[in-house]
Structure formats: C-alpha cells, structure tokens
Chain A
Amino acid sequence: MMKISGIRYLVEQGIENIWKNRMMAFASFCALLVSLVLVGISVLAYQNMDSMIGGAESQNEVILYLDEDTSTEEINRIGNEIYQMQNVAEVNFYSRDEAYQDWKEQMTDYDILFESLGDDNPLIDSFRIRVKDIRQMSKTVSQLENLDHVYNVRAPYDFVAIVTQLRITLTWVMSALILAMIFVSIVIISNTARTSVYSRREEIQIMKYVGATNVFIRLPFFIEGMITGFFAGCGALVITWVVYDAVAGILQNQVALLSIIGVGSMIRFEAIYLPVTFAYLLGGALIGAVGSAVSIRKYINV
C-alpha cells in the first residue's frame, strides 16, 4: 500500500509533467477540445431539433364532436373524464354557438348562405383536445370514442405520421453523426495520447527497470491526462456557449417564421447550462485520464 507522501509525490509529478511536456500537453488539450466540441455540439443540435419537433407535436389537435342532444351536465362530465385521461395535455370546450360565430366570420362572402339558415345552427358542440404524446394518439382516440354521447372523433393522423417519421429519421441521422464524432474523437485522442507517451517511452522504461510498479508509472499520466482533459472541457464549454448563443441569436430573429411553421424555439442555454458544464468537465477529465493511462499500456510491459 502506497503512503500518502508517495501519492502526493505522484500527483505533483503529474502536474509538473504538464509543464515539462508542455508541447505534447498542448497537443492533447487541443485534440480533446476539438473532440469535446464536436460531440457536444452534435448532442446539443440533436436535443434542439428534437425539442423543435416537440414544439410542432404540441400543435396537435384531436376534435371530439358530441351528440346533438347532449346536456350541459353531461358535457361537463365528459370534459372532466377527458381531462382525467393520462395522455391528455389540454381540453377546451368549443360550443356550437362559438363554432357558428367563427364560421360566419371566416366566410364573410357567403352571407346569403347564413341568411338562408336563419337561426338554425347546423353545427354541434365539440371538445378540442391536445395530447401529450402523439405516439399514443390512436389509443387515446379509442378511449375518447368509447365515451358517452360521442358523435365522432377526428384525429390528425397524417400529421402524426409525418412528425413521427421526422423524429425517427432525426434520431437515426443524429445518432450516426454523434457516433461518427465519438469515433473521430477517439482516434484523435488515442493518437495524441500515444504520441505523448511515445515521446516519454524511455522514461517509462527506466521506471520499470528501477522497480516501479504499474500504478506508480500510470498515476502521474492519469493525473496529467485528467488535468489536461479538465481544461479542455472548460475550453469546450466556452466555445459551445459562444456558438450556441450566436445560433440562438440568429434564430430568435426568426421567431415569427418558426411559429408559423409550427416548431418551437431553441432551448435556452441557461436551462441546460448545468448538465452541459458537468458533462464537459467530467467527460474531459475522464477521457483525458483514461486515454493517457491506456496509451502507456504498450510501454509498461517491459
């Protein structure tokens, strides 16, 4: 078992090594920085696109038409039952009078038609329902159809199909992109770590010849990689923040357009700041440490 003073020496060595091998440390820092930014921005892009599709999803509307002779009490009871359903996010009653009024306002050129109808309103009461998860829409529609006094239920299945397909495609494309970025990152990091260790292979060999244990040899490399990775994580966080804010700024000017096409806006960076920071710093430190420790394996077996 190593003494505390021994561990302290190795930690000090790890920190000293960064300065002594500053060129290679800088190369490792850059490789990690680029890799973290590539992967981080890909993940954030995916999350935002997913969130935007979520915004489009929330525009869904199922219309439940009630039988003509449904009483007010029954309408209230049905409204409550719908509201209690698990997948229902919002329920709004749309009376036949409101519908008639809206219809008239939309069709101002057809006054003759409305005059011929007189006081006879041909429309029926309805509920406008927004579901939480559109993938569960058909199940929810079945539940709605089974309620009393339901004349008809109309659901936007085409819209659901398009959005679902869009989400599946996005998940596949972005997963492939993120995996590719992770692969590229692993190649960059392992090559840099190997080059860094190669330049110090003699030092490792000497350590082995004088009876250093593998832990003694690995720990300074581990500490060195961890510190380099941590700072790369800090750098990646700053770059991501700047890029994110710039993109969010551009999109903010297009809010009107986004709402017209029915998609939500970008996630605010403040809302994801903590997990992003945590992921970058922890990810950077961990990748740096493990990358360095693994790369010396080849030279440690002397």
Chain B
Amino acid sequence: MVELKDVSVTYSSGVDALEHVNLKINDGDFAFVVGASGAGKSTLIKLLLKEIDATSGTVTVNGYQLNHMKKRKVPELRRTIGVVFQDFRLISSMTVYENIAFVLRVIDAPRKYIRKRVPYVISLVGLQAKANSYPTELSGGEKQRVAIARALVNDPSLIIADEPTGNIDPELSYEIVELLRSINRQGTTILMVTHEHELVRRFGGRIINITEGQIVFDEIMEGSDDEFLEDLGNLNDED
C-alpha cells in the first residue's frame, strides 16, 4: 500500500516538484501515472524509493513510514519494491539468469531457492531460451522482460515501472503492459509511470495525472473508447 498525505517536495534549487499531494494506492491496484516532463513523476518515484525525503507531509510505502526511516532500514524497504526502468539497467557483465538471481543473493536467499525461483520467473516472462544470454545479445523488449523478471523475482508487494515502454517498439509495449497486468492479477500492486497516452487509452484502469507537481486527475476509467480518456489525451497534449 502506498499513501501520501499532504506531501510537498522542494529541491534545494527552490523548485517545488510536488505540492500538497494526497494519494492512496491500495494493495492489488494497477495505476498509470501520467504527466508531462518535469511534472513531478520522477520525484514521486524517488520519494517512494526513499531516494529523497518529503519536505512536508507523510509518505507510507508497504507499511514503512518513510519520513522517520533510518538509513540502514532503506534496503529493507526496497526489498519490498520491484523497480523497472526505461533504460532496463541490467548488469552487462551478467547473464539473464545472473541478473535475476542477483536480487535473491542480495537478500541472502538460500541457493536451493534461487535455483528453483529464477527459472520459474524467467519462464513467466517467456525467456527460457535466453537464460544464458548477456544483455547485449537481447532486443529492447527482451531486456525489459528481464528487468520485469528481476523486479518480480523477490515477490515484491509493489512494482514501480518507470516508463517501461519508453525504449521499445509500440507493439512490444502492449506485450509489456499485458505482462505487468498479468502480474497484477496475481496480487502485486503496479504503479506504471508513462507518457504514452495510447497505452493508457488502450488499457484504461486507474489513471493519475500529475501536472506541475499536483495531482489534477485521479480516476478509474475502463475501456478504450471512453470519452474521458480521450479528454485525458487532450489534456496531456496541451502540457
């Protein structure tokens, strides 16, 4: 569960990145976070990962109160969150298997469990044949599947996907979102940040629009032809 209560973030440069944001994402939700560049989407992610602290307000993620969290507790929080980045961020010197197994090694998981869990997660993202390949030998879509498998392997409560379709072809983007939705159906909360309105329009669901550091829209919309989703597209295009 993610909960932000009256959260503001002001950077040392004086820029107000978030202003009085109130947001609650329940366990098992799937939410799109949309907004133009510089709207505050990245700040929101940094806040949830405890990369930065809120200037005011309270932030709760997976039961952790982030405002008063000690530094040594941060790894514990991050082990409950899976992160998928636009640029994949795979370790180039490691194979697909090693990139995923690495997360379990970080939490000191038993070797036996790693040997069982990693192939299972690789099969979930359909990359059994590529388990021993290095990232440089994969396509953009495959890399992102590895990144999703890596985010998933630790069985996190929440997956934050930061523009996961930004570096891949449109048709593969749908596959990635489908994959995330299927993970969501197993009970994992998904927060997907994107600026691709076409994806949002196609899949619908909960849509949170951040503009100039404020949440200007937070509704659940279903269906690809919904009139409101069309309006949302127009709203973002104006940004």
Q: Identify the A interface with B (CB < 8 A).
A: 2-3, 5-6, 9, 20-21, 202-203, 205-213, 216, 302
B106 partner, pick from A3, A211, A302, beta carbons under 8 A: A211
A206 partner, pick from B51, B91, B108, beta carbons under 8 A: B91
A210 touching B106 in the complex, CB below 8 Å, given contacts A20-B93, A205-B89: yes
Q: How far is the CB of A53 from chain B (nearest CB, A)?
A: 54
* Residue B230 at the chain A interface, CB threshold 8 Å: no
* Residue B49 at the chain A interface, CB threshold 8 Å: yes
Q: Can you list 6 pairs linking A and B with CB atoms under 8 Å apart?
A: A202-B89, A207-B106, A210-B106, A211-B78, A211-B106, A213-B75
A212 touching B89 in the complex, CB below 8 Å, given contacts A3-B108, A5-B111, A302-B51: no
Pairs of residues from A and B, 9 with the lowest C-beta to C-beta distance, nearest first: A211-B79, A211-B78, A211-B75, A6-B108, A212-B106, A210-B103, A20-B93, A213-B75, A209-B83
Main secondary structure on A side of the interface with B: helix
CB of A210 within 8 A of CB of B111, answer no
Interface flags for B135-159 (1: CB within 8 Å of A; 0: not) read 0000000000000001000100000
Contacts of A9 in B (CB 8 A): 105
Closest Cβ neighbor of A17 among chain B residues = B93
Contacts of B150 in A (CB 8 A): 210
CB of B78 within 8 A of CB of A208, answer yes
Contacts of A210 in B (CB 8 A): 78-79, 83, 102-103, 106, 150, 154
A209-B49, A210-B79, A210-B103 given. 19 additional CB < 8 A pairs?
A3-B108, A5-B108, A5-B110, A202-B89, A203-B91, A206-B90, A207-B106, A208-B75, A209-B83, A209-B89, A210-B78, A210-B102, A210-B150, A211-B76, A211-B78, A211-B103, A211-B106, A211-B107, A216-B106
Interface flags for B64-102 (1: CB within 8 Å of A; 0: not) read 000000001001111100010000011101000000001
Contacts of A6 in B (CB 8 A): 105, 108
CB of B105 within 8 A of CB of A206, answer no
Closest Cβ neighbor of A202 among chain B residues = B89
Interface centre among B83, B108, B110, B154 (most CB of A within 10 A): B108
Contacts of B111 in A (CB 8 A): 5
Q: How far is the CB of A6 from chain B (nearest CB, A)?
A: 4
Within 8 A of A (CB), among B28-51: 49, 51
Q: How far is the CB of B157 from chain A (nearest CB, A)?
A: 13
CB of A206 within 8 A of CB of B89, answer yes
Q: How far is the CB of B1 from chain A (nearest CB, A)?
A: 18
Q: Cα distance A206–B90 when bound, in Å?
A: 8
Contacts of B154 in A (CB 8 A): 210-211
Contacts of A208 in B (CB 8 A): 75, 78
Q: How far is the CB of B64 from chain A (nearest CB, A)?
A: 12
Q: How far is the CB of B212 from chain A (nearest CB, A)?
A: 27
Q: How far is the CB of A42 from chain B (nearest CB, A)?
A: 38
Contacts of B77 in A (CB 8 A): 211
Contacts of B102 in A (CB 8 A): 210
Contacts of B108 in A (CB 8 A): 2-3, 5-6
Q: How far is the CB of B142 from chain A (nearest CB, A)?
A: 18
Contacts of A207 in B (CB 8 A): 106
Q: Cα distance A202–B103 when bound, in Å?
A: 15
Q: How far is the CB of A66 from chain B (nearest CB, A)?
A: 79
Closest Cβ neighbor of B49 among chain A residues = A209
Contacts of A20 in B (CB 8 A): 93
Q: Cα distance A212–B76 when bound, in Å?
A: 9
Q: How far is the CB of A257 from chain B (nearest CB, A)?
A: 59
Interface centre among B49, B89, B106 (most CB of A within 10 A): B106
Q: Cα distance A212–B150 when bound, in Å?
A: 14
Q: Cα distance A20–B93 when bound, in Å?
A: 7
Contacts of A213 in B (CB 8 A): 72, 75
Q: How far is the CB of A1 from chain B (nearest CB, A)?
A: 9
Contacts of B79 in A (CB 8 A): 210-211
Q: Cα distance A208–B106 when bound, in Å?
A: 10
Q: Cα distance A9–B106 when bound, in Å?
A: 10
Q: How far is the CB of A102 from chain B (nearest CB, A)?
A: 81
Closest Cβ neighbor of B109 among chain A residues = A6
Interface flags for B111-129 (1: CB within 8 Å of A; 0: not) read 1000000000000000000
Q: Cα distance A208–B74 when bound, in Å?
A: 9
Interface flags for B1-31 (1: CB within 8 Å of A; 0: not) read 0000000000000000000000000000000
Q: How far is the CB of A70 from chain B (nearest CB, A)?
A: 82
Q: How far is the CB of B204 from chain A (nearest CB, A)?
A: 29
Q: How far is the CB of B238 from chain A (nearest CB, A)?
A: 33
Q: How far is the CB of A297 from chain B (nearest CB, A)?
A: 13
Contacts of A206 in B (CB 8 A): 89-91
Q: Cα distance A216–B90 when bound, in Å?
A: 18
Closest Cβ neighbor of A301 among chain B residues = B71
Q: How far is the CB of B210 from chain A (nearest CB, A)?
A: 22
Q: Cα distance A206–B99 when bound, in Å?
A: 10
